[in-house]
Amino acid sequence: MKPLQRTASNSNSYPVKILQFGFGNFLRGFADWMVEEANEKGIFQGNIEVVQIHSKHIDAKITRQDGLFHVIERGLSQGDLIDHAQLITCVTGVTSIFEDYEAYLKLGENPDLEFIISNTTESGIYFDSEDFPIDSISKTFPGKLTALLFNRFLHFSGDPERGLIFLPCELIEKNGQQLKSCILSYAEKWELPQEFSDWISNHNIFCDTLVDRIVPGYPKAEIAEIEEKIDCKDELAVMVEPYHFWAIQGPEEVRERFPLDHAGLNVKFVEDLSPYRTMKVRILNGAHTTLVPYAYLHGFRTVRESVEDPGMLVFLEQAIYEEIIPSMEYPKEELTDFAKDVLERFANPFIRHELKSIALNSISKFKVRVLPSLLAYWAKNQTWPANLTMGFAALILFYKGNFKGETLPLNDDPTVISIFSTAWSKSNLVDTLTEVCTNENLWGQDLSQYEGLISMLESCIQRLITSTKP
**Cα separation, 244 vs 464, whole angstroms:** 36
**Contact (Cβ atoms closer than 8 angstroms) between residue 96 and residue 1:** no
- Mean residue pLDDT of the chain comes to 95
As a whole number, mean pLDDT of residues 113-141 equals 93
Helix (H, G, I), strand (E, B) or coil at 91: strand
Closest of 393, 386, 274, 272 to residue 326, by C-alpha: 386
**Cα separation, 426 vs 435, whole angstroms:** 9
Does residue 121 carry a pLDDT above 90? Answer: no
As a whole number, mean pLDDT of residues 313-318 equals 98
**Contact (Cβ atoms closer than 8 angstroms) between residue 119 and residue 22:** yes
As a whole number, mean pLDDT of residues 7-11 equals 88
Q: What is the pLDDT of residue 467?
A: 83
Q: What is the pLDDT of residue 53?
A: 85
Q: Which CATH class is domain 8-270?
A: alpha beta
Q: What is the pLDDT of residue 54?
A: 81
Does residue 470 carry a pLDDT above 70? Answer: no
- Go through the chain and tell me how many residues it has: 470
Distance in angstroms between the alpha carbons of the first and the last residue of the chain: 50
Q: What is the pLDDT of residues 377-418, one digit of tens each?
A: 999 999 999 999 999 999 999 999 999 999 999 999 999 999
Closest of 111, 122, 234, 131 to residue 173, by C-alpha: 122
**Contact (Cβ atoms closer than 8 angstroms) between residue 320 and residue 342:** yes
Percent of the chain with pLDDT over 70: 99
Q: What is the pLDDT of residues 70-83, one digit of tens each?
A: 999 999 999 999 99
**Contact (Cβ atoms closer than 8 angstroms) between residue 113 and residue 14:** no
**Cα separation, 376 vs 188, whole angstroms:** 44
pLDDT range class, residue 266, cuts 50, 70, 90: very high
> What fold is seen in the domain 274-467?
N-(1-d-carboxylethyl)-l-norvaline Dehydrogenase; domain 2 (1.10.1040)
Q: Give, in degrees to the nearest 5, the angle at Cα 235 between 119 and 104.
A: 45
Q: What is the pLDDT of residues 55-111, one digit of tens each?
A: 888 999 999 999 999 999 999 999 999 999 999 999 999 999 999 999 999 999 999
Q: What is the pLDDT of residues 279-295, one digit of tens each?
A: 999 999 999 999 999 99
Q: What is the pLDDT of residues 193-245, one digit of tens each?
A: 999 999 999 999 999 999 999 999 999 999 999 999 999 999 999 999 999 99
pLDDT range class, residue 350, cuts 50, 70, 90: very high
Q: Return the bridge partners of 86, or none.
A: 71
Could you state, in order of their start, the residue ranges of all structural domains in the chain?
8-270, 274-467
Flag the least confident range among 30-39, 156-165, 353-362: 353-362
Please name the amino acid found at residue 287: A
Q: What is the pLDDT of residue 469?
A: 62
